[in-house]
Amino acid sequence: MRFNNERPIFAQIADLLLADVLSGKLAAGARLPSARELAASLEVNPNTAARALQALQDSGVARMERGMGYFVADGGADLARDERKRMFFEEELPRIFRMMDEIGATPEEISERYGLFRQRKGA
């Protein structure tokens, strides 16, 4: 995997796992990969992978069972969605607004494009 320099690697790994929880690939009660498994598959330091798992536990998305590993917590998908929403409003949306100002895009144009996106998606 290619990581970007804008965010810490552990946070990007946590985002990958959050995406799996949100998509349903990892349901409540599902075992998360161990720090060693994550480190090997993503070619990162095991401590970095452990920080990602700890971040998920800290946010309530994951729970740790001593000697067993990390598991998706009950309600983990809802917490993951809330975290993603928070990140969107605090990090992504300000970046989008700055770009809109730079290129002169209006909220109406964005709304129109969003409507087209939703139509293509079938939502």
Q: Which domains does the chain have, with CATH numbers?
A: 1-123 (1.10.10.10)
* Angle between helices 35-42 and 46-59 in degrees, nearest 10: 120
Residue 92: alpha-carbon gap to chain centroid: 13
**Local structure of residue 28 (DSSP, 8 states):** T
pLDDT at 6: 84
**pLDDT at site 39:** 96
Look at residue 121 and give its three-state secondary structure.
helix
Q: What is the pLDDT, as a whole number, of residue 83? A: 84
Q: Which stretch of DSSP H or E encloses residue 108?
A: helix 107-121
Tell me, what's the pLDDT at 5? 87
> Tens-of-pLDDT digits for all 123 residues of the chain?
789 888 899 999 999 999 999 999 999 999 999 999 999 999 999 999 999 999 999 999 999 999 999 999 999 999 989 988 998 999 899 999 999 999 999 999 999 999 999 999 876
